[in-house]
Amino acid sequence: GDLAEEVDTIIIGSGPGGYVAAIRAAQLGQSVTIVEKGNLGGVCLNVGCIPSKALIEAGHSYEKAQGNDELGIKAENVSVDFSKVQEWKSGVVQKLTGGVQSLLKGNKVNVVQGEAYLSDKDTVRVSSENNSGQSYKFKNCIIATGSQPIELPNFKYSDRVIDSSGALALEDIPEKLVVIGGGYIGIELAGAYANFGTEVTVLEGEKRILGGFEKQMSQLVQRRLKNKGVTFYTQAMASGVEEKDDGVTVTADVKGEEQKIDADYVLVSVGRKPNTEELGLEQIGVEMDDKGLIQTDKEARTSVSNIFAIGDITDGPPLAHKASYEGKIAAEVISGEASAIDYLGIPLVAFSEPELAAVGYTEDEAKEAGFEAKTSKFPFQANGRALSLNDTDGFMKLVTRKDDGLVIGAQIAGPSASDMIAEVGLAIEAGMTAEDVAMTIHAHPTLGEITMEAAEVALGTPIHSM
């Protein structure tokens, strides 16, 4: 056998969970080793959050450049060089992954390239092309191996049947694209390509898209996408695909009727599964649920006390900031600090049009949790900045506890919802009331004023609504 190297903390996976945990553990005095089999930055930086937002932005720029009748802006001969878009997108990714590398180095984190396997409760074995097995004996381990797209049995991934990574890396703008799955990943990519002029068809199995958000919110997105020419089939089960040299024909059962749709590509975005199968978890007794998600407590600890798990491989929203948050908690717990996960303040965001964001409780969830809540709504149509941006679709709903006005949640649909949700997250974290938010002076005219106005609605004294 080989000689095992001794380390304090070993982290498996360098996505937003793993690399953040590594930096925080190093800051707190641990000697940290991080193992990555692919690229630093994980899904989020390489094939997730960042490249998708870059593509969405490029789509917006193109769409806006085509002029606006209402504003009297005429444009001619607007075109896209999509290879340039891809080049720019890759540049953004490279800047960020390079940044992660420097940060890890600057914090003296030892980065090991290779695939990790837990051979024992205190040993990780790493194999790579040029090293067929180095073992690391650890005091604590944080597993942060993330997730991968689910494959549908009748839709084997190929050149034409693509996952989100494939959809982000297309060389040309497709003329036609079928998207199977109306979750946030499918809807974000559908919107981006619709802006580039692609004829998009979305197949959703449920009655509506974006099921993680309230109906009122997802309806706004569906309407806006329809206006861009996107076709929606809900209660639609994609059943098969026929591949040709230059495209696909997708067959779907839509409310009992068979539909055939031709396209250049079919994007399958029906969810992701945790990367927990090939880590040796069963044999060392790390408990998982029937979906393969690792079970953890409020300290991110698994059923094996010196092994922690964070991010997409644990229950909860599979989002980058959730992974990073849990990573910080795990690193702090390992370093002996009192720290625990509180899920209430984790925002859910879809970078759709309009953007959707939610944090904390909805009124119904509050009721289920056993307390009376009140929702106070304010529309973007009454917000001066939204009007001057010509972007007034949507609203802010602030949820407060009835007896004392404590802010416990919000749902926002509209421009910059992704940024604005942070203010409500802060209010929740800080234990603020509607009065505190209403008393906070917001610059005028800004989209953020909508939060102050919703708080005033909660107090019964709104200035700009009746």
Q: Does 18 bind ligand FAD (CB under 6 A)?
A: yes
**Residue 242 near residue 248 (C-beta atoms within 8 A):** yes
Contacts of 209 (CB under 8 A, 6+ apart): 182, 183, 187, 202, 218, 221, 222, 232, 234
Which residues have C-beta within 8 Å of that of residue 100, sequence separation ≥ 6? 14, 19, 40, 41, 45
| Nearer residue to ligand FAD within complex by CB, 143 or 455 | 143
Stretch that binds ligand FAD, among 44-52, 65-73, 217-225, 453-461 (CB under 6 A): 44-52
Binding-site size for ligand FAD (CB under 6 A) equals: 35
Q: Which of 7, 10, 12, 170 binds ligand FAD (CB under 6 A)?
A: 12
Which CB, 145 or 375, lies closer to ligand FAD?
145
Q: CA torsion 444→445→448→454, rounded to 10°?
A: 80
Nearest Cα to Cα of residue 236 among 213, 264, 266, 215: 266
Q: Using CA atoms, how far apart are residues 430 and 130, in angstroms rounded to an integer?
A: 50
Q: Please report whether residue 32 would count as binding ligand FAD according to CB under 6 A.
A: no
Q: Which of 25, 141, 320, 398 binds ligand FAD (CB under 6 A)?
A: 320
Cα 262 from Cα 215, distance rounded (Å): 30
Residue 59 engages ligand FAD in binding (rule: CB under 6 A) = no
Angstrom distance (rounded) from CA 195 to CA 56: 8
CA–CA separation, 186 and 218 (whole Å): 13
Closest separation in Å from C-beta 45 to ligand FAD: 8
Among positions 9, 10, 15, 174, the unique one binding ligand FAD when judged by CB under 6 A: 15
| 187 assigned ligand-binding residue | yes
Q: Is 444 a catalytic residue?
A: yes
List the structure tokens of 70: 């209402």
**From the CB of 306, what's the least distance to ligand FAD, in Å?**
18
Query: What would the two tokens of residue 218 be?
Result: 């997802």
Site string for ligand FAD, 151-190 (x = CB under 6 A): -------------x--------------------x-----
Q: Which residue of the set 60, 321, 442, 444 is catalytic?
A: 444
Nearer to ligand FAD, 115 or 391 (CB): 115
Pairing of strands 247-254, 236-244: antiparallel
Is 271 a known ligand-binding residue? yes
- Residue 292 assigned as binding residue: no
Tell me which residues touch ligand FAD (CB under 6 A): 12-18, 35-38, 42-44, 48-49, 52, 115-116, 144-147, 164, 185, 275, 279, 311-312, 318-321, 323, 351
Which residues are the active-site residues? 444
